[in-house]
Chains A and B, each alone.
Chain A
Amino acid sequence: MKDENQMPIVALLGNPNSGKSSLFNYLTGLRQDVSNFPGVTVDKKSGFLMLDSGLEIQLIDFPGTYSVFPNSGEEKIVIQTLTNDKDNNYPDLVIYVADITQLDRHLLFATQIKDLGFPMILVLNMIDIAEKEGYIIDKTYLEQFLQCEVVCVSIRNHENTQQISDAISSRFSGPKEVLNYQPIYHLTDQENFVATRIAKKLDIDNFYKAKLIAHHHEWLQHLTDDNKIFIQKQIEQSGFNNIRQQVQETMKRYELHALAIKKTLTKNNSEALTLTDKIDNWITHRILGPIIFFVIMLMIFQAIYSWASLPMDWIEQGFALTGSFLSENLGNNWLADLIVNGLLAGLGGVLVFVPQIAILFLLIALLEESGYMSRVVFMFDAIMQRFGMNGRSMVSLISSGACAIPAIMSTRTISNNKERLITIMVSPLISCSARLPVYAVLIGFVVPDIKVWGILNYQGLAFMGLYLLGIVGVIFSSLLFKKILKSESTSFLMIELPNYKPPIWQNILLSVKEKVLSFIIGAGKIILIISVLLWFLASFGPSNKMSQAVEAAETISLSNQLDAESKNHLIASNKLEASYIGHLGKWIEPAIAPLGFDWKIGIALLTSFAAREVFVGTMATIYSVGSDSDEKTIRQKMAAELRPGTNIKVYSPATALSLLVFYVFAMQCMSTLAITKRETNSWKWPIIQFLFMSVLAYVGAWIVYQLMA
């Protein structure tokens, strides 16, 4: 058992779409953090809450769950925690949130939690909608039936929400739960036989908990192998049929709580079309549905580019001002050089893209909150199956447009192993927000900034083209994986299509904040380390080579009678070539020359294997080391770059396009590989992912360059 003096843990449980997370956000606000449940990448949101009584509690928002018989990895985590009283997240009190308009389904899991012996407070949410729809609510019978306190609230309108905190307070200060609790569901003789023996052997005081352990013993991680064998033996002896027993219990519970619902809710059934019906007549229409979907996607990408440009200008100017302020005031020494040309240049190159990323996350969160995403799952399931995936894969692929990491994590809702694996493997091919900076810098070399029809511009369309190229990559690689991989289990669609609701802004803003912060912190760390490393490697080199380089530059300047500016530039670029990083770049140049890349691009490729957005930071570092520290932007410096000894531009359209194609396909993100490793629980899949994407990138870039040059 847990330490008595530990802070009480209060769990928020409920079905998906019950408003559970809205309540969590309402109660904790900005004082929440996201971590993982032990050993898995399922998000665990928790926050501390000071009650009016002065008691502090830890509130944990568990993943939405339909019942104690789980169908997804996230639901399994919940059941695992609830069946193990030694788990660090084992709750002292459960706040169960149910949508009052969906009470018949939402009460199922509530009675199961109650039978597991947890003290519980039932929160009936959405009384505002219920009252509008003509429901009359009387909670007296329900309180008797569940033997727990029931509060009716509207979390959206903050109506009666104070009652929830009061109920929690009185639970911890007042008298304990009634001791003579009567289980709602009575075990059958057969279930009792198995449960009694397991309870005795494992020292469990709740027979229903023992029954659940019997159902799920194969995957429950808190059971020892000995106990698993023991349980298996009991099951075989008694003829306990796992599936039949689950189905029978569920049906029995529905039957038992039907009366309670009848006495709680009075409603007039109307056959009239609801707002959701009317919206879905358009949104999920056989022909209009997909068209609306593509229009929404197009609008999202246009919004990213038009809304983000102003804040991006501000950030760019802010960094430029800070840079010149620092270089004036810090003097001319190596530390100032490191700060201005190493750290600041690297960070600025990435932070400038925060507005675009925030807008993308915001719009995706809106689609999820409103209920549109599950319609996308419905509409595209048939197509996705053709590519060996599931309708749910669509949600992952759309999220990949922001970042492959949450996308890969969201594949947990796909229960079929093959479908899930294919989705994980191909998701990083969708252009994520980290590729935006690279695209933004390079696209100007290929496509002119000209408007078409007043609203679209060629560069925006080119962006669209790069995203489409990523999608083509997804199509071909998923077909390939579909052929190669074998399926271990059957697959299912069965998904709830929740009623449309206006989004709750607090939920959306909190999710955007969390994701943007984790991007800044995650990418920021790597970028800082790499910027410093790069600055060092680019500023120093084998000492004799460095001095030879300077001498050579001076000789050339003298014989060609160059002015001071050209002379300094030549010295700087000769020094860069002679530096450690110059040697590294030269070393890989033969391998990348067929793609049209020189050794400077080679350096950027090497550094962006950790994270692709580092490309821009690297370019910033290389080019500010490589010339005088005037305030030219990276792109202007790159545009001015000539192939040594010639008048040919390094960034010709052929090279820029080849580089773009390389970045569309290449797996340059350590974090994604790490997540793939964790989610697939093996090194095999991240390695395969890295290899197939690298081959795709190299071959793609090679074809483009050979065709264009």
Chain B
Amino acid sequence: MNTRKTLASLTPGQSAYVSVLDENIYTCKLLNLGILPKTKVTMVRRAPFGGAFYIKMDHHQMAMREDEASTIYIQETL
């Protein structure tokens, strides 16, 4: 099922839409930074030395770790 794919599986340049978020103490932080269901997200690049993800949304961008990205489930279309 494609809903089980997470943001962490995207390779640089790929885009997808957020479907659901795992609920944990940092979920609100993600929401505050604009990661919401139906948001279009693009994985732009990874940090040097296999580090954080550079994620671009409609008109802003953020950084997150791989384990944070894997709490965000994605789908290819809306």
Q: Across the interface, which residues of A come within 8 angstroms of B32, CB to CB?
A: 66-67, 69, 71, 105, 108, 250
Residue of B nearest to A293 (CB): B48
Q: Is B28's CB under 8 angstroms from A67's CB?
A: yes
Q: Across the interface, which residues of B come within 8 angstroms of A391, CB to CB?
A: 52, 63
Q: Is A290's CB under 8 angstroms from B48's CB?
A: yes
Q: Is B47's CB under 8 angstroms from A246's CB?
A: no
Q: Contacts A378-B47, A378-B52, A381-B47; is A495 near B62 (CB within 8 Å)?
A: yes
Q: Is A280 an interface residue (CB 8 A)?
A: yes
How far is A66 from B26 in the complex, measured between Cα atoms in Å?
13
Within 8 Å by CB of A286, from B27, B31, B46, B68, lies B46
Fill in one digit per residue for B21-65: 1 if any A CB lies within 8 Å of its CB, else 0: 101111111111110110000001111111110101011111111
Q: Is A247's CB under 8 angstroms from B52's CB?
A: no
Q: Is B29's CB under 8 angstroms from A492's CB?
A: yes
Which residues in window 629-671 of A have CB below 8 A to B?
A: none
Q: Across the interface, which residues of B come within 8 angstroms of A244, CB to CB?
A: 23
Q: Across the interface, which residues of B come within 8 angstroms of A104, CB to CB?
A: 34
Q: Is B60's CB under 8 angstroms from A492's CB?
A: no
Q: Is B29's CB under 8 angstroms from A379's CB?
A: no
B76 CB → nearest A CB, Å: 17
How far is A250 from B58 in the complex, measured between Cα atoms in Å?
19
Q: Is A102 an interface residue (CB 8 A)?
A: yes
Q: Contacts A254-B36, A493-B52; is A247 near B27 (CB within 8 Å)?
A: yes
Q: Is B68's CB under 8 angstroms from A379's CB?
A: no
Q: Is A493's CB under 8 angstroms from B24's CB?
A: no
Q: Is B59's CB under 8 angstroms from A105's CB?
A: no
Q: Is A417 an interface residue (CB 8 A)?
A: no
Q: Is A284 an interface residue (CB 8 A)?
A: yes
Q: Is A144 an interface residue (CB 8 A)?
A: no
Q: Across the interface, which residues of B come within 8 angstroms of A496, CB to CB?
A: 33, 60-62
Q: Is A105's CB under 8 angstroms from B33's CB?
A: yes
A253 CB → nearest B CB, Å: 9
Residue of B nearest to A496 (CB): B62
Q: Contacts A67-B32, A243-B27, A244-B23; is A382 near B60 (CB within 8 Å)?
A: no
Q: Is B63's CB under 8 angstroms from A493's CB?
A: yes
**How many residues of chain B get a CB closer than 8 Å to chain A's CBs?**
35
How far is A569 from B45 in the complex, measured between Cα atoms in Å?
68
Q: Across the interface, which residues of A come within 8 angstroms of B36, CB to CB?
A: 251, 254
Q: Is A493's CB under 8 angstroms from B46's CB?
A: no
Which residues in window 485-505 of A have CB below 8 A to B?
A: 490, 492-499
How far is A285 from B68 in the complex, measured between Cα atoms in Å?
21
Per DSSP, are chain A's interface residues mostly helix, strand or loop, or mixed? helix
Fill in one digit per residue for A233-252: 1 if any B CB lies within 8 Å of its CB, else 0: 00000000001101100110
Q: Is A254's CB under 8 angstroms from B26's CB?
A: no
Q: Is B52's CB under 8 angstroms from A382's CB?
A: yes
Q: Is A694 an interface residue (CB 8 A)?
A: no
Residue of A nearest to B64 (CB): A494
Q: Across the interface, which residues of A come within 8 angstroms of B30, CB to CB?
A: 494
Q: Is B45's CB under 8 angstroms from A286's CB?
A: yes
Q: Across the interface, which residues of A come within 8 angstroms of B25, CB to CB?
A: 243, 490
Q: Contacts A71-B26, A243-B23, A286-B48; is A494 near B34 (CB within 8 Å)?
A: no
Within 8 Å by CB of B31, from A102, A254, A377, lies A254
Q: Is A101's CB under 8 angstroms from B65's CB?
A: no
Q: Is A383 an interface residue (CB 8 A)?
A: yes
Residue of B nearest to A101 (CB): B59
Q: Is A374 an interface residue (CB 8 A)?
A: yes
Q: Is B51's CB under 8 angstroms from A379's CB?
A: yes
Residue of A nearest to B27 (CB): A247
How far is A104 from B40 in the complex, measured between Cα atoms in Å?
14
Residue of B nearest to A497 (CB): B61
Residue of B nearest to A289 (CB): B48
Q: Across the interface, which residues of B come within 8 angstroms of A286, CB to CB?
A: 45-48
Residue of A nearest to B37 (CB): A251
A537 CB → nearest B CB, Å: 53
Q: Is A250's CB under 8 angstroms from B31's CB?
A: yes
Q: Is B31's CB under 8 angstroms from A251's CB?
A: yes
Within 8 Å by CB of B28, from A101, A247, A274, lies A247
Q: Is A494's CB under 8 angstroms from B23's CB?
A: no
Q: Is A284's CB under 8 angstroms from B28's CB?
A: no
B3 CB → nearest A CB, Å: 18
A18 CB → nearest B CB, Å: 12
Q: Across the interface, which residues of A come within 8 angstroms of B24, CB to CB?
A: 243
How far is A71 from B30 in the complex, measured between Cα atoms in Å?
11
Fill in one digit per residue for A63-92: 1 if any B CB lies within 8 Å of its CB, else 0: 000110101000000000000000000000
Within 8 Å by CB of A105, from B34, B61, B64, lies B34
Q: Contacts A287-B48, A290-B48; is A497 near B34 (CB within 8 Å)?
A: no
Interchain residue pairs with CB less than 8 A apart (26): A66-B32, A67-B32, A69-B28, A71-B26, A101-B59, A105-B34, A243-B24, A243-B27, A247-B21, A247-B28, A250-B32, A251-B37, A269-B58, A280-B44, A374-B63, A382-B48, A382-B50, A383-B51, A391-B52, A391-B63, A490-B25, A493-B65, A494-B33, A494-B64, A497-B61, A497-B63
**Top 7 A-B residue pairs of the complex, sorted by shortest distance between their CB atoms:** A382-B51, A66-B32, A378-B63, A497-B61, A69-B28, A493-B65, A250-B31
